[in-house]
Copies of this chain bind each other. A is one copy, B any other.
Amino acid sequence: MENPSAFDDFYSVIPAGGIGSRLWPLSRADAPKFLHDLTGSGKTLLRDTWDRLEPLSGADRTMVVTGRAHRAAVEEQLPHLLDRNVVLESEPKDSSAAIGLAAAILMNREPDVIVGSFAADHVIKDIRSFRRAVAEGIAAARAGYIATIGITPTDAAIGFGYIQCGEALSIEGAPNAVTVESFVEKPDLATAERYLADGDHLWNGGMFIARADVLLAQLGESQPELLAGLTELAEAWDTPQRGAVVDKIWPGLMKVAIDYTVAEPAAAAGKLVVIPGAFDWDDVGDFASIAKLHSGGRKSDLAILGENARVLADASTGVVISQTGRLISLIGVTDIVVVDTPDALLVTTTANAQRVKSVVDALKLSGRNDVL
């Protein structure tokens, strides 16, 4: 950064929670999505996320919220992550609890802190453009807003939520910030095409930047009990009572996404702004997304992931992910998805990528936790 001191009040928070069910059998309970290299960069998505944020907040000011089971893997991936910046969840409680607790802990340590929350398993390659958007988000946060970053759509994606932009604002340091008219769930194709054409809609990348006190006040308006629990946890966090308070409070915390407790109420109250980001972005939500990332959008390509992958393909397109080193031979299969792991094999097509979650649900129902 040209001027690192500009962000001295900023703290990055990386919630590293979701398993990524639509990426089964690659993603598992013990090998969640953020611990995989899905871009071919040679780094896990978590490490890519860290490397993207370090120039903004510094290694000392980046916090990770993750499950107890993933502590060792996370610390191995992030050797510069400080002990005090590791927040371990005894059980998953969704993003309101994860981000809210991080904000509450950081506010206790540093009352004026600005926190930015960035998923551990998204892909962004244009880091300069990303940083410019975050810088505007930080400026908007300093002005008292809750800022989110929306991504300018490049195609009529139906796998993402959208943000409808409202009025332009005049915030110092955030010239592109506009109000948020509404959040829209994943649309159908016709609607997505309309959004792409009208220029008023951005992809919802799920990134939030706000003063910790502003974020928590908004959370408290929606869910006062949740805020009370998080506050009690945060007050005990840096004391010997942490363990006892976690055991008492954590199991009872409400499990709810921050979209519902903070983003939507803040938008309705005129406190949310969105910064349009011109960078590439993908949540790598399913295997179709991986195929697209690797082919650069070309339908004619076969993407191959996995160390020691050995693939012999003839007239085939799609994506192969190999974890076994077995020879994989494809003949005349188009838009195919083959995921080869030691105990489970998935064969589907990119068009069916979203349906992978239904297999995971079926396996859960039948008690097949050995492969989940």
Shortest distance from the beta carbon of A356 to any chain B beta carbon, whole Å: 7
Closest to A344 in B: B327
- Taking the full assembly, how many copies of this chain does it contain? 2
B-side contacts of A345, CB under 8 Å: 326-329, 338, 340, 345
A346 to B336, CA, bound (A): 12
With A312-B363, A314-B358, A359-B314 already in contact, the answer to whether A332 and B352 are too (CB < 8 A) is yes
Q: Is the CB of A312 within 8 A of B359?
A: yes
Q: Is the CB of A346 within 8 A of B359?
A: no
Query: Does A348 have its Cβ within 8 Å of any Cβ on chain B?
Result: yes
A351 to B359, CA, bound (A): 27
A363 to B338, CA, bound (A): 20
B-side contacts of A343, CB under 8 Å: 326-327
Q: Is the CB of B314 within 8 A of A355?
A: yes
Count chain A residues whose beta carbon lies closer than 8 angstroms to a beta carbon of B: 33
B-side contacts of A329, CB under 8 Å: 25, 344-348, 359
Which residues does A use to contact B, with CB under 8 Å? 25, 312, 314-315, 326-333, 336, 338, 340, 342-349, 351-352, 355-356, 358-359, 362-363, 368, 371
Q: List 26 A-B contacts (CB under 8 A).
A: A25-B327, A25-B329, A312-B359, A314-B359, A326-B342, A326-B344, A326-B345, A327-B343, A327-B344, A327-B345, A327-B371, A328-B345, A328-B347, A329-B344, A329-B345, A329-B348, A329-B359, A330-B348, A331-B347, A331-B355, A332-B348, A332-B352, A332-B355, A333-B347, A345-B345, A347-B347
